[in-house]
Amino acid sequence: MKKMVKMMVTFAVMFFAVSTVAHAQGRGGRGGAMYATILKDSLHVSAEVATKADSIAASYQKKNADLRASANGDMASVAPKMQELRTQQINDMKALLNADQKAAFDKIVAAMPTGRRGGGR
């Protein structure tokens, strides 16, 4: 019984560690919500700004979902429009920030991994 509890605690600690690292590497958010997460977790914006960021993220998530649905499986055809939406979303998020926060945000976004998930399979 003691061994089982020890094993479960070890598993829980490992799960927490892996999820924390994944989140720190920018994989903790989903789609455009990661930009709102950066504002809240890394830049520690006010509650008002965080609410606006969440609203912006939700808006762009809907736009991207609609775009993906219209692609009928041909994601290459909508990739340029999705990139345009991502750029617009980043600009909308940055509009909520002061100059110092914008510089920090740009630095964080520039350090984020690019490319496909799963190592570019």
Count CB neighbours of 104 within 10 A. 16
**pLDDT confidence of residue 119:** 45
**Phi-psi category of 51—alpha, beta or left, where left has phi over 0 and alpha has psi -120 to 50?**
alpha
How much is the pTM? 0.67
pLDDT digits (tens, 9 = 90+) for 84-106: 999 999 999 999 999 999 999 99
Sites in the chain below the pLDDT cut of 70: 9, 11-31, 115-121
Q: Domain map of the chain by residue range?
A: 1-29, 31-111
